[in-house]
Structures are given as C-alpha cells and as structure tokens.
Amino acid sequence: MKKLLSGALALILCVSMVACTVDQVLADIEVVVQIAASIVPAVGAISPTDASVVQKLSDDATAAIKVIQADYDTYKASGATSDLTRLQSAINAIQTSLPQELAAAHISDPKTVAKVTNWCNLIYSTVNAIVAAIPALTPVPVAAVSAKSVSAPAVFPTAKVIVARWNSEVCQGDAACAKLVKVKKHFLGL
C-alpha cells in the first residue's frame, strides 16, 4: 500500500511539475519575442538587401511566437481540443516556415548568416521546449537550420537561460548585441 501511495504521490508531483514548467516556459516567451525582434539591430550595419531579408525573418518569427503564446493561453483557459489543434498548427507553422525562409534568404554577409542561423536555432530550441512541455502536443519532425541538431533542452529554459544563450550563441561577445535583450524583474521572481 505504501508503494502504491508513494507511486501516486510521485505521479502527482511529476504532473504538477510539468504544468509549472510549461507555465514557466510560456511566461518566459516574452524574452523570446524580444529575441525575435532584436536580430535586426544585432546584426548591425549590413547591405539594404540583407537588412530587408533579416527584417522579414524577424517580423515573421515575432508574429509566430506571439500567436503561439496567444493560442496556448486560449487552450489553457478552455482545454478544448480545437484550441489545442490551433496551438499545434501555430507551432507547426514556425517549425516549417522559418527554416524555409532562412534557406530561401540569400544573405550575402557570412557573419550575418552565422548570427541569423544561431538566432533561428535559439528560437527552434525554445519552441521545441514548448512542444516537449505540453504532453498533449504531437511532436513534429523539424528540419535543422544548420548542421547542429536542434532539440528540446533537458531542462526547460528560464528567461535567464534564454538570455544567456542569446548572449553566447547569437551575440558571441558583442556587448551592444547583448544589451538588446533583457530579463525583466518579474521573470527573476522578484
């Protein structure tokens, strides 16, 4: 009987921890929206053609992440299968359209290509964390943007972790770039 009770308690704790983790990931999505919107100033001075392409990628990613957040909020409030389907569609849209847009974007500057590719990988891993955190979602195979394998992290990212990844993977030591994305106090639990 003790084993059954401890097993039930472990299951309840596990499920409640997953729910908290999902809420944490989605609460931190504001940071991901900042990241999506900050790639244009992060790449700095580039040709007008490259700037236009990067701006379109940024606009599309920002809009898609905001849709994911809104669809999750709707699903969480209703629990309706139709809202879950809408959330799944929003996730599928960014997972398929962003790599296609990046592949079609003929950016001429190699440094910009590297920065934008790392930016896309950061967005993918965050979206993959959302998929992994919501058991009702069906994982969709995602084409990696680069040779790196992009998967959900073992621990769900916090705002601080996401910003740290922005600083190291996208900005790569560029202080001006690192200042573009900030963790707000309410994300730190203050």
Q: What does the domain layout of the chain look like in residue ranges?
A: 33-188
Look at the alpha carbons of 27, 28, 29, 30 in this order and tell me if their dihedral is positive or negative.
Answer: positive
pTM: 0.75
Q: Which two three-digit tokens encode residue 101?
A: 């847009």
How many Cα atoms are found within 13 Å in the side-chain-facing hemisphere of 19? 7
Query: How confident is the model over 158-186, as pLDDT tens digits?
Result: 888 889 999 999 999 899 999 999 887 55
Query: Residue 187: which of 152, 160, 154, 156 has the closest Cα?
Result: 160
52-71 pLDDT, tens digit per residue, is 999 999 999 999 999 998 99
Tens digit of pLDDT for each residue in 124-162?
888 887 777 776 776 555 444 443 444 444 456 788 888
The candidate with the shortest Cα–Cα distance to 95, out of 124, 134, 125, is 124
- Alpha-carbon span 170 to 25, nearest angstrom: 20
